[in-house]
Chain A
Amino acid sequence: MPFEALLATCLAYVALMFGVAYAADRAAARGHVRWLDHPLVYTLSLSVYCSAWTFYGAVGYASRSGLEFATIYLGPTLVFTAAWWGLRRLVRVARMHHVTSVADLISARFGKSNRLAAIVTLIAVIASTPYIALQLQSVRLSFEVFATNAPNGPDTGAMGGTALWVAAGLALFTILFGTRNLAADERHHGVVTAIALEAVVKLLAFVALGVFVVWGLADGPGDMLDRIARTAADPAVAEGWLLKPDRWTALILVSAAAILTLPRMFQVMVVEAADEERLHVAGWAFPAYLFIMSLFVLPIAVMGRELLPAGSDPDLYVLTLPAAAGQDMLALLVFLGGFSAATSMVVMCAIAVATMVSNHWLVPAWLALRRIPAPDETDDLRGFVLNARRMAILAVVAAGWVYHEASGGAAALAAMGLVAFTGMAQVLPAMLGGLLWRGANRKGAYAGIGSGLVLWMALIFLPSIGVGGDLPVPAGVDPWTAAVALSLSLNTLAFVGMSIFGFPDPVERLQGLSFVSAVEPIRHSRMLRADDRAEPLLAMARRVWGPDAALRYFQAEARAQGKTGYLPDLTPRFLTRLERRLAGSIGSATAHAMIDRVAGGVALTVADLLQVADEAQRAKEETQRLEAAQAELTRTARQLRQANDKLTALSVQKDAFLGQISHELRTPMTSVRAFSEILKDPTLTPEERGRFAGIIHDEAGRLTRLLDDLLDLSVLESGRAQLTVTVANLHDLIGRALTAASATRPERGFLIDRDLPAEHLGVITDADRLLQVLINVISNARKYCDAAHPVLIIRVRRPESGGAIIDIVDNGSGIDSGRQSLIFEKFARLNDPARAGGAGLGLAICREIMLTLGGEISYLPGQGGAAFRIQLPARPPSGSLPD
């Protein structure tokens, strides 16, 4: 393939990446983040773990050491089997604190100490520089493979510029898409999407090559296994391939630590994650990605040994194998895959390390240099932070390039992957301890990370670049394993030991509680008295986020507190949230220091801690009080609703009443008018005249009764009825009532069943009113009882509470259960053909009378006929004993 074609493809691919990143950033800016937030994109972005060291180096590693290469991918798999309870919690806690990097996490946990973060940043920078150099080298080497194969390509001596061009391009990409804004959540949609796409290219290229090797060069999996066995039969190979259990264990543990602590992995896994939900998919999908990437490594290594000339570099088998087989397109695809692996690693690593450098080195230094804390500072901190980050990106990539040039592209670089892993693994004890153990403190973290850094430098990093020698170890022990075990165990020991003997300050204890229990931290409220502090805070936020974003945030917070305008009250909740949002832009230590300076921070004391606990208690009580109030409100609302229903019903009833009464008045009135009209006729006989006059008289009587009833009812209902309270004997009253009622339908012979001795009860009540009730009830029975041999049973007894109960029961068919509730309503006349002139007010009046008397009249269902119970109190409510 002509070299120019390769170069053109490469440039086109780079242009595609810029385009994708640009489009994704624009989509995110317009709020279209649905597919950008897809768990699959997240999973693919995690594959930034597979750098060029994986893509090219894994085959070389497998060629030399057999299955041992797989440890690098088994470690992450092991970590991801704990995705559900481990990684989700890490992501949740980190998101809660708006953590921007692994250094920031450590600093935030251990009392927002910037010095600690600066040390972690130092490790990250030392570990990352050779690692980035390794990526540049891999791109240069892959170019060289093509150049030497191409007929008219430039000679390899002219390739020295490749690494520079690649480094410059990557720095440009990272600055363009990695520092567009100083978002509070530090997410880079453009970069992540481009990296997800590169992950697909990587995977496709490697799988295509693997399929070609297993089914094109060999005869399928069975043949491949035979070839592996044949290769391993060579004693020289077999010795290298023999797994060493100690090394195996150390490698798995170190790579498991690396997936948690490598700056770029922390960036994609924790910082770029919108929430922990996406780990549900990534938990199995990322191990699956690693599985597929590893599956073909050993076959490619074996095939390369078999087919390529003896002196070939195993690290480049993936390129030289398809090229030697004449598969130019496949070789090109593999080249792009390797290019993707290298570039995505450099971009992500540069973003992550540059964030650390700017947040923990440059910004604190700059703030410390400008010592006068003027609250009305108007300078653009945002611009400074962004520029610091851009400079840091340039510096990180440039350091990688310088290292690459200085090392002369030596094979020593190949070991740099593991060196970086072990370096960042030194952070793990403090990180895990900080997340799981409340007793872990800052002194312990200093001791652990510090001793880890020193031991790693002395035992692993310096020997790897040729300074000093390997650790003198007993024969049979792997020196690298011994160095890892020694550094990590001393690191952990120092961390635990200093934590046990130290006593953390209050800020640290608060943070420790928040991290270990995964609860929202609450800032202390010492500084809250001065409300005029909100404005300087707004000014400060404006310096970090820019005027619009800061105003928007403050307005939203004020609105959340129920205030208008832009200045929220400085509640602990608001200050906590503001600090954490600021931490998302400039790191927790700096954010803490800045808020303290502006808001007039006072050092937190143990008394404040107690106050925080007290506040929590008060908040709990407040919540309970609110809940009670809410319940009370619900109750009141329900009562109101019932009252409203009742009023509506009453209104309907009133309308019905008016309609009914008009009708009732109109019917007799019509007869009166009609018959008086007829009476005017002079030709009427005296008999007729007498009859008609009788009808008019009857109807007028009906009208009068109706009006009397209405007046009576209205007096009763308005409570203006005058009671004449006397002592009366029920026996006499019932007798009188029976006599009076016998005028109703006198033709019906009723059998009256009375219990005469029991009836002799004295009651204190208005005897006339009670008599009215009794007559009404008995008349009703006479009117409506439909039995052939009607019987009326009257029973009287005195309940324990005093007063009297009178039951009046007939043997008719009674009243339907559906209508029983209606009979005491006005005009609630039941369908009766036999009604004798009543307007349906009788029982309504009875009910009102009984209420006035302080008693009750009710219908008793299930007595074998219509049954009414009249209950009298011992004495009427307003009545007094007669003299």
Chain B
Amino acid sequence: MPDRPLFLERASFHRRRLGDAARVLPVVTMLLLLVPIWWMPGVLSYAGGAVWLFGLWAVLIVAVWALHRALLRAEDATLRADTPPEDPDAL
């Protein structure tokens, strides 16, 4: 990759880190869904488990929403930063 820049603008750097977060999120979700059940199935099978499960679920939805919003904004920001100013002499 010879034409890959060594250092990124702040906006693209931010966008890439958000992209990393989007990649990590499913892994974190899977761990959150599986580990507690393997660890203490007896505790999480009944009323308390229902509260835990639906609470976790709601948090996940909000997390995805916030992440997508941030990613869209970051994408807009990088697009603006990457677009060169209009050359007045260009035909």
Of A283, A294, A638, the most chain B CB neighbours within 10 A belong to A283
Min Cβ gap B47→A in Å is: 4
In the complex, what residues of B have CB within 8 A of residue A243's CB?
37, 41, 44-45, 49
Whether the Cβ atoms of A67 and B23 lie closer than 8 Å is no
Any chain A CB within 8 A of the CB of B81?
A: no
B window 25-62: CB within 8 A of A: 25-26, 29-30, 33-34, 37-38, 41-42, 44-47, 49-51, 53-54, 57-58, 60-62
Any chain A CB within 8 A of the CB of B65?
A: yes
Whether the Cβ atoms of A225 and B51 lie closer than 8 Å is yes
Whether the Cβ atoms of B45 and A77 lie closer than 8 Å is no
Q: In chain B, what residue has the closest Cβ to A228?
A: B47
Q: What does the 1/0 interface line of A245-259 toward B look like (CB < 8 Å)? A: 100110010000000
Whether the Cβ atoms of A67 and B53 lie closer than 8 Å is yes
Q: In chain A, what residue has the closest Cβ to B63?
A: A81
CA A83 to CA B72, docked complex, whole Å = 13
Interface residue SS majority, chain A: helix
Any chain B CB within 8 A of the CB of A238?
A: yes
Of B29, B64, B67, B90, the most chain A CB neighbours within 10 A belong to B64
Q: What does the 1/0 interface line of A629-648 toward B look like (CB < 8 Å)? A: 00001100110000000000
Selected contact of B45 from candidates A86, A242, A283, CB within 8 Å: A242
Any chain A CB within 8 A of the CB of B17?
A: no
Whether the Cβ atoms of B34 and A283 lie closer than 8 Å is no
Selected contact of A291 from candidates B23, B29, B47, B61, CB within 8 Å: B61
Min Cβ gap A291→B in Å is: 5
Selected contact of B46 from candidates A86, A238, A295, CB within 8 Å: A238
Any chain B CB within 8 A of the CB of A412?
A: no
CA A284 to CA B71, docked complex, whole Å = 13
Q: In chain A, what residue has the closest Cβ to B46?
A: A232
Any chain A CB within 8 A of the CB of B91?
A: yes
Instruction: Give the size category of B's interface with A.
Output: 35 or more
CA A67 to CA B30, docked complex, whole Å = 17
Q: In chain B, what residue has the closest Cβ to A242?
A: B45
Whether the Cβ atoms of B37 and A84 lie closer than 8 Å is no
Min Cβ gap B11→A in Å is: 18
CA A66 to CA B42, docked complex, whole Å = 12
A window 595-639: CB within 8 A of B: 633-634, 637-638
Whether the Cβ atoms of A284 and B45 lie closer than 8 Å is no
Whether the Cβ atoms of B46 and A66 lie closer than 8 Å is yes
Interface pairs A-B: 8 shortest CB-CB: A284-B65, A232-B46, A84-B22, A82-B26, A284-B64, A245-B38, A229-B47, A228-B47
7 new A-B contacts, CB < 8 A, other than A67-B44, A241-B45, A633-B91, are A84-B68, A85-B23, A243-B45, A244-B41, A248-B34, A249-B37, A291-B54
**B residues near A, CB below 8 A?**
19, 22-23, 25-26, 29-30, 33-34, 37-38, 41-42, 44-47, 49-51, 53-54, 57-58, 60-65, 67-68, 71-72, 89-91
**A residues near B, CB below 8 A?**
66-67, 70, 74, 77-86, 225-226, 228-229, 232, 238, 241-245, 248-249, 252, 280-281, 283-284, 287-288, 291, 294-295, 298, 633-634, 637-638
Name 8 interchain pairs, CB-CB below 8 A, sorted by A.
A78-B26, A78-B30, A81-B25, A228-B47, A245-B41, A248-B41, A284-B64, A284-B65
